[in-house]
Amino acid sequence: MLASVRSATLVGAEGRPVHVEVQVSSGLPGFRVVGLPDASCREARDRARAAIVSSGFRWPQRRVTVNLAPSSMRKAGSVLDLPLALATLVADGQLPAGALGERAYLGELGLDGSLRPPAGVLALVACLAGTEVVVPAGCVAEAGLVPGVRARHAVDLRQLAGVLNGVASWPSPPPLGEGAPGPAAPDLADVRGQALGRAALEISAAGGHHLLLIGAAGAGKTMLARRLAGVLPSLSDEEALEVARVRSASGAGAPGAIDHRPPFRSPHQGVTAPALVGGGGASLRPGEVSLAHLGALFLDELGEFAPSVLDVLRQPMEEGRVVVSRASGTVVFPARFLLVAAMNGCRCGGDGAAGSCPCPEVVRARYARRISGPLLDRFDLRVRVGRPSVAELLGDRSGRRGESSAAVATRVRRARAAAAGRGARCNAELPASALAEVAPLGPEAHRLLGARLADGSLSPRGLERCWRVALTISDLRGAKGPLSEEAVQQALAMRVAVTPQGPAGRGTAWARG
């Protein structure tokens, strides 16, 4: 007898529909799985057999053939345990032929018959939209986040078989909670001084511009960067669901309610290239850049990351996605993130300026070369952060604090709204072909940028990035019309050299571009 059950498998961060077909026929007892299963799919035989026996059913003592269709797509994970067990029971006549209906089934089986949540439930359920999906009780709230899907659940195989046999009813869904709120983002009001750093942070958040903070150890670079999360605008419902789907595909799970706060990821300096951009073994999982999708990725102590690891960021910074190719196939991960990085000017912890850093210039230059020129050119903002003065650190007697994150976030939202009126999520995502139309340069601004291009201190890519930054500065000021020379000057001033600084504060041309 033949039975077929709808299910899904995870490919990267997306779910793909799968049909699990089981035939129980006469012949020597045996079990064979075809259809490009991985090791975890092949091991489903032992889990399904133990679960079926533990639930009071019998394992067929005949030839069992399982086909995972489509056969051209590799299947991975334990999510097919439950549909395999149910199709086996139907094909052996232990469940009615029409009991499974048109539903889809997802879940891993324990040896005692219990149903366990698989990785990537949101992505798996999303590809089955428009149908009824049965999932383990532990992830029914997560599955219910997908619009257009009716999620059912069961605790174990015995309970589910009772419902399918008509001797029991579906369990009532658990109440949907609001989700445990995460810790509040630190407030910008805690930052003493750092007027230039605060301005760069606001421009970065408003326009989605990649930001590099350079300065001596203890100057406040990390303190500034970690307050970016408090000024980024909230995600829309669609964006929040997309972020939750990527997080679920990584195996971290998703909350029972949508979180509209943009993600903020901060990996350690020892992170590997696959952990940063995704991939790894046979099971291709999203990396840190995808987990920061529509949010921020913070790389502290940028100079301590392996240069080969940093250079893999070039493609996602430009294209907003990561393409991972392996022998088993190619997957595309979303990676539209805002990169914020902090680094010292020298390995000794100094700011890298001649006269204030005790290291010789060759040592400072060697440290600066850990960050490649093409990667530096992709930072829209490169700002030097100096140590606050004594007066700024100790404050005045009135106890006044700096501007709060809430006040800055209001201006950021207005700037993002202006970008949305141009058809982009933020100014950093405006296509280069649209810049001249939506943000024409004034005569003085045109001459200034032309001079920087002519002397080689600004690359063509740097021109586009400075143009977008100047547009964001104008949006924050509420200015209309052609971009002013003042806005362009400020954009250029926030694109400093990273190579060792002399008295004039100038570096090599590739670093300034």
pLDDT at 278 over 80: yes
Q: What's the rounded mean pLDDT across residues 490-511?
A: 58
Closest CA to 209 of 478, 471, 469, 495: 469
| DSSP character at residue 173 | P
Residue predicted with more confidence, 51 or 462? 51
User: Tell me, what's the pLDDT at 503?
Assistant: 37
Same domain, 154 and 207: no
Distance in angstroms (rounded) separating the CA atoms of residues 196 and 386: 9
pLDDT at 397 over 90: no
Does 258 map to a domain?
yes
Same domain, 122 and 28: yes
Same domain, 192 and 251: yes
Query: Is residue 296 exposed (0-12), middle (13-18) or buried (19+ Cβ within 10 Å)?
Result: buried
Q: What's the rounded mean pLDDT across residues 480-496?
A: 91
Same domain, 192 and 160: no
Percent of the chain residues past pLDDT 70, beyond the cut: 91
How many C-beta atoms lie closer than 10 Å to residue 355's C-beta?
A: 8
Angle, vertex CA 90, rays to CA 86 and CA 93, nearest 5? 140
Does 446 map to a domain?
no
Write down which residue in 114, 148, 164 finishes a domain: 164
- Return the minimum-mean-pLDDT range out of 81-90, 207-216, 243-252, 419-428: 243-252
Query: Is residue 293 exposed (0-12), middle (13-18) or buried (19+ Cβ within 10 Å)?
Result: buried
pLDDT tens for 244-259 read: 889 888 877 655 567 8
Does 223 map to a domain?
yes
Residue predicted with more confidence, 304 or 352? 304
Same domain, 203 and 320: yes
Does 479 map to a domain?
no
pLDDT at 198 over 70: yes
Distance in angstroms (rounded) separating the CA atoms of residues 199 and 384: 12
Q: What's the rounded mean pLDDT across residues 308-318?
A: 92
Write down which residue in 426, 456, 485 finishes a domain: 426
Same domain, 285 and 233: yes
pLDDT at 497 over 70: no
CATH number reported for the structural domain that contains residue 20 in this entry: 3.30.230.10
Distance in angstroms (rounded) separating the CA atoms of residues 84 and 62: 16
CATH number reported for the structural domain that contains residue 401 in this entry: 3.40.50.300
User: Tell me, what's the pLDDT at 506?
Assistant: 37
Q: Name the pLDDT band for 396 (thresholds 50, 70, 90).
A: low
Q: Name the pLDDT band for 508 (thresholds 50, 70, 90).
A: very low
pLDDT at 510 over 50: no
pTM for the full model? 0.85
Does 82 map to a domain?
yes
Does 487 map to a domain?
no
Task: Give SS3 for 180.
Answer: coil
Write down which residue in 426, 445, 464 finishes a domain: 426
Distance in angstroms (rounded) separating the CA atoms of residues 134 and 83: 10
Same domain, 351 and 202: yes
Same domain, 289 and 396: yes
Task: Give SS3 for 108.
Answer: strand
pLDDT at 13 over 50: yes
Percent of the chain residues past pLDDT 90, beyond the cut: 52
Tally the domains of the chain: 2
Distance in angstroms (rounded) separating the CA atoms of residues 470 and 459: 16
Domain holding 195, by residue range, is 188-426
Does 411 map to a domain?
yes
Same domain, 157 and 262: no
Q: What's the rounded mean pLDDT across residues 100-126?
A: 92
Q: Are 212 and 343 in contact (CB under 8 A)?
A: yes
Distances (CA, A) of 367 to 267, 359, 502: 21, 11, 16
Write out the two tokens for 78.
Answer: 């334990």
pLDDT at 61 over 60: yes
Query: Is residue 436 exposed (0-12), middle (13-18) or buried (19+ Cβ within 10 Å)?
Result: exposed
Does 159 map to a domain?
yes
Same domain, 80 and 200: no
pLDDT tens for 157-178 read: 999 999 999 888 998 876 655 5
User: How confident is the prediction for the chain on average, in pLDDT?
Assistant: 87
Same domain, 263 and 321: yes
Q: Are 214 and 382 in contact (CB under 8 A)?
A: yes
pLDDT at 388 over 50: yes
Same domain, 399 and 294: yes
User: Tell me, what's the pLDDT at 432?
Assistant: 87
pLDDT at 324 over 60: yes
Distance in angstroms (rounded) separating the CA atoms of residues 308 and 305: 8
Write out the two tokens for 195.
Answer: 């007027």
